[in-house]
Amino acid sequence: MLASTIFKRSLSKSAIKWIVSGAYNNNLQRKSAIEEAIVKYAADNGIDARGAVDGSAEVRGTEHAGTARPDGTWNPNEPNHVTVNFKKSDGSHITTRHVYI
Grade residue 53 by pLDDT with cuts at 50, 70 and 90: confident
End-to-end CA distance of the chain: 43
H helices present in the chain, as ranges: 28-44
Q: Which of 9-13, 37-41, 47-51 has the highest mean predicted lDDT (pLDDT)?
A: 37-41
What does DSSP assign to residue 20? S
Whole-angstrom Cα Rg for the chain: 15
47 Cα distance to chain centroid: 10
CB 98 within 8 A of CB 79: no
Q: How confident is the model at residue 5 (pLDDT cuts 50, 70, 90)?
A: very low
The predicted model scores a pTM of: 0.83
Res. 86: pLDDT tops 60:
yes
Lowest mean pLDDT among 2-16, 25-39, 40-54, 66-80: 2-16
**Predicted confidence (pLDDT) at residue 7 exceeds the cutoff of 70:** no
Decide if 64 contacts 83 (C-beta within 8 A). no
Going by C-alpha positions, the residue among 68, 72, 65, 41 that lies closest to residue 10 is: 41
Q: Give me the pLDDT at residue 44, please.
A: 93
